[in-house]
Amino acid sequence: MKITLVVPTYLRPQDLTRCLTALKQQNRPVDELLVIIRDTDRETWQFIENFDRESLPLRTAAVTESGVIAAMNIGLDSATGDIVAFTDDDAAPHPDWLEKIEAYYLTDEKIGGVGGRDWVYHGASLEDGSQPVVGKLQWFGRLIGNHHIGAGEGREVDVLKGVNMSFRRKAIADLRFDRRMRGTGAQVHFEVAFALTLRQKGWKLIYDPKIAVDHFPAQRFDEDQRDSFNKQATVNAIHNETLALLEYLSPLNRLVFLVWAIAIGTRESRGLLQWLRFLPRDGELSNRKLWACWIGRWQGLQTWQRPIQL
């Protein structure tokens, strides 16, 4: 099988260096490497010009739009492999990464996607943990991630994580990442709609924690900031999650999801109950988070109700 790897990058040449170094060390070499770079990112273009291209089958493509989705879709349009894999510029795949990914596709033709664990480092500190439930969508719309702390054997999931995922070209066909997703950079939850669409079409998605990348979350140069509360980033993330789930859920489950999201929610996607839970600790911050989540839900509902612009 031919494997194409797509790596979107923006203003992170040092992180990209670490990523490309890890790709040189793969037990199973990549057949085609596509690095997608913003047209205005002179720093990265200069780095690529000086990169030893003979060490990897590297091609580049320029993207003129902000946001990871435009870059990922250029990758999908340009890829020629039977398998299209994705990782981030701030990640370093383990040496057996592509080898283990390919093995799954060779064992079962019904497998449409394969991904695994991202071991998250905050400086020199590893965010460790062990959770058996990973990448699952509960019937009422609660999305469980845990890709970075998943444990156990390989199993079917509903959603893979963008930093460590791959798809069979036959399964992808003409499917592309949804351009309605909000944000100017990370566009959080962009992979949810893509994965759920493949599940809806009957393809299996596999998560195996032994398929691993080291992830060093880098600075974001856009409105989708992480680590501290940012209203616009929260609104964007909740909008994207809401849109993806409304597209996938049945009419009855959509109603249940919206009631649950407004009345209960989660720590990150707050409803009234979670607002009350964290109010004594967070004070005014809890109010701001609740309002941002509700705005995101409302905007996601509005986007879902509008016709798709082709």
Confirm if 215 and 270 have CB atoms less than 8 A apart: no
Q: Does residue 310 carry a pLDDT above 50?
A: no
Enter the tokens of residue 268: 């990150």
Report how far residue 237's alpha carbon sits from residue 245's, in angstroms, rounded to the nearest whole number: 12
- Give dist(CA 287, CA 270) in Å, integer: 10
C-beta of residue 224 within 8 angstroms of C-beta of residue 236 = yes
CB within 8 Å of 54: residues ≥ 6 apart: none
Buried b (16+ CB within 10 A) or exposed e, 62-99: ebeebbbbbbbbbbbebbebebbbbbbbbbbbbeebbe
Least trusted range by pLDDT, from 99-103, 194-198, 214-218? 214-218
**What pLDDT, on the 0 to 100 scale, is given for residue 110?**
98
Residues near 61 by beta carbon (within 8 Å), at least 6 away in sequence? 34, 35, 36, 37, 74, 75, 78
Instruction: Please give the average per-residue pLDDT across 7-36, as a whole number.
Output: 97
Average pLDDT over residues 78-103: 98
Q: Quick check: pTM over 0.85?
A: yes
**What is the token pair recorded at 230?**
């940012």
Does pLDDT of 244 surpass 50? yes
Per-residue model confidence (pLDDT) at position 221: 62
Catalogue all structural domains in the chain, each as residue range(s) with its CATH number.
Answer: 3-215 (3.90.550.10), 231-305 (no CATH)
Q: Answer whether 207's CB lies under 8 Å from 147's CB.
A: yes
